[in-house]
Structure 1
Amino acid sequence: MDRRDFLKGLGLTVTASGLGALLAACNANEQQSGQAIAVSSGGTLYVLYDLTSQRLDPAKSSSLAITMSGLIHRRLTAWQTPANGPATVVPDLATDIGRASADGRTWTYTLKDGLKLSDGTPITSAEIKYGIERSFDAAFSGGLGYHKTLLDGGSTYRGPFSGGELASIETPDPKTIVFHLARSYGDWPWIVSMPAFAPVPKGKGTDANYDSGPVTSGPYQVASYTKGVEIRLTRNPNWDPHTDLARTGLPDTIVVQLGQDTGVTAQRLLASAGNDAYAFGAAFVNPAQLAQIRTNPAAKNQLVTSKSGALAYLALNTRRGPLANVKVRQAFQYAVDKTAYQIATAGNAELAGPVATTLITEGITGREVFDLYPAPPGGDVAKARQLLAEAGYPNGIENLDFPVSTANNKADLAQAIQAALQRAGIQAKLRPLDDDAWTAIATGNDDNAYDLTLSTWQPDFPSANANIQPLFGTSEIGNGGYNLSRYSVSEVDTLIAQAQGTVDPAAAGKLWAAADRRILQDSPIVPLIYTRNSFLHGAKVGDFAIGEFPAYPNFLQVGLAK
Structure 2
Amino acid sequence: MAREVIKVTAGLAGLAVGLSGCGGGDSARGADGPPRDGGTLRVVGSSDVEHLDTASVASVGAYGLSRTYARTLFGSRASNEFSETVPVQADVAARIPTRENGDISKDGRTYTVRLRKGVQWNTRPVRPVTAHDFVRGLQRLCNPASPSASKGYFTSTLKGMDDFCRGFGGVDAADPAAIARYQREHAVEGVEAKDDETLVFRLERPASDFLNLLALPSTAAAPQEYDRYVPDGRDFRQHTISDGPYQIAEYRPGLSYLLTRNPAWRPESDPLRERHVEKIQITLGQDSAEAVQRQLEQGSADLAWDQPVPTQDVSRLRDDPRFAIRDTPSNSPYLVFNTRSPNNGGALGDREVRRALEYAVDRSALIKIVGGPSVAEPLHTVIPPGNAGYAPADRYPTPGESGDPAKCRELLGKAKHPRLTLKFPYRTNSVHKLIAQSIAQNLAACGVKAELSPDTGGSFYSSTIGTPAKAQEGVWDIAAPGWTPDWYGNNGRSIIQPLFDGRTYGPNSTNYGGYDNFQVNGLIDSALTAPDPARAAGYWQLADQKIMEDAAIVPLLDRAHTIFRSDRVRGAVFLPTAASYDYTRLWLAG
Identity across the alignment (%): 21
Q: Kindly indicate whether residue 367 of structure 2 is the aligned counterpart of residue 372 of structure 1.
A: no
Q: TM-score, normalised by structure 1?
A: 0.76
For residues 42-100 of structure 1, the C-alpha deviation after alignment (integer angstroms, 9 at most, x for no partner) is 23341324469777654464465851211222111112355333733322111226866
Give the residue type in structure 1 aligned to 2:194.
P
Give the residue type in structure 2 aligned to 1:511.
Y
Q: Kindly indicate whether residue 41 of structure 2 is the aligned counterpart of residue 46 of structure 1.
A: yes
Q: Kindly indicate whether residue 74 of structure 2 is the aligned counterpart of residue 70 of structure 1.
A: no
2:15 aligns to what? none
Give the residue type in structure 1 aligned to 2:558.
Y
1:360 aligns to what? 383
SS at match of 2:165: coil
Q: Kindly indicate whether residue 246 of structure 2 is the aligned counterpart of residue 220 of structure 1.
A: yes
For residue 272 of structure 1, the aligned residue among 290, 299, 323 is 299
Give the residue type in structure 2 aligned to 1:432.
L
SS at match of 2:258: strand
| Cα distance in structure 1, aligned partners of 2:359 and 2:149 | 36
SS at match of 2:193: strand
The root-mean-square deviation of aligned C-alpha atoms, in Å, is 4.3
- Number of positions where the alignment pairs a residue of Structure 1 with one of Structure 2: 518
- Verify the 8 A CA contact 2:325 2:375 in the aligned structure 1: no
SS at match of 2:392: coil
Deviates more, 1:213-222 or 1:454-463: 213-222
SS at match of 1:402: strand
Give the residue type in structure 2 aligned to 1:219.
P
Q: TM-score, normalised by structure 2?
A: 0.73
Q: Kindly indicate whether residue 287 of structure 2 is the aligned counterpart of residue 283 of structure 1.
A: no
SS at match of 1:354: strand
1:461 aligns to what? 486
How far off is 1:461 after superposition?
Answer: 1.0
2:464 aligns to what? 439
- Verify the 8 A CA contact 1:63 1:69 in the aligned structure 2: no
| Cα distance in structure 1, aligned partners of 2:228 and 2:513 | 40
SS at match of 1:154: helix
Give the residue type in structure 2 aligned to 1:87.
V
Give the residue type in structure 1 aligned to 2:423.
P
Structure 1: gaps (5+ residues): 1-26
- Verify the 8 A CA contact 2:46 2:286 in the aligned structure 1: no
Give the residue type in structure 1 aligned to 2:200.
V
- Verify the 8 A CA contact 1:338 1:378 in the aligned structure 2: yes
| Cα distance in structure 1, aligned partners of 2:226 and 2:467 | 38
For residue 151 of structure 2, the aligned residue among 142, 146, 154 is 146
- Verify the 8 A CA contact 1:500 1:508 in the aligned structure 2: yes
| Cα distance in structure 1, aligned partners of 2:280 and 2:318 | 28
| Cα distance in structure 1, aligned partners of 2:297 and 2:475 | 44
Q: Kindly indicate whether residue 197 of structure 2 is the aligned counterpart of residue 175 of structure 1.
A: yes
2:127 aligns to what? 121
2:176 aligns to what? none
How far off is 1:352 after superposition?
Answer: 6.3
Report the CA distance shift for 1:353/1:44 in structure 2 as closer, same or farther (over 3 A).
Answer: same
For residue 155 of structure 1, the aligned residue among 155, 166, 184 is 166
- Verify the 8 A CA contact 1:135 1:196 in the aligned structure 2: yes
Give the residue type in structure 2 aligned to 1:128.
F
Deviates more, 1:312-321 or 1:231-240: 312-321
| Cα distance in structure 2, aligned partners of 1:144 and 1:317 | 18
Q: Kindly indicate whether residue 89 of structure 2 is the aligned counterpart of residue 90 of structure 1.
A: yes
| Cα distance in structure 2, aligned partners of 1:405 and 1:450 | 9
Report the CA distance shift for 1:455/1:126 in structure 2 as closer, same or farther (over 3 A).
Answer: same
| Cα distance in structure 1, aligned partners of 2:115 and 2:469 | 42
- Verify the 8 A CA contact 1:358 1:527 in the aligned structure 2: yes
Deviates more, 1:511-520 or 1:174-183: 174-183
How far off is 1:190 after superposition?
Answer: 3.0
| Cα distance in structure 2, aligned partners of 1:338 and 1:117 | 48
Give the residue type in structure 1 aligned to 2:304.
G
Give the residue type in structure 2 aligned to 1:431.
E
Give the residue type in structure 1 aligned to 2:362.
D
2:564 aligns to what? 536
| Cα distance in structure 1, aligned partners of 2:363 and 2:47 | 36
SS at match of 2:522: helix
1:315 aligns to what? 336
2:4 aligns to what? none
| Cα distance in structure 2, aligned partners of 1:316 and 1:358 | 15
| Cα distance in structure 2, aligned partners of 1:486 and 1:216 | 35
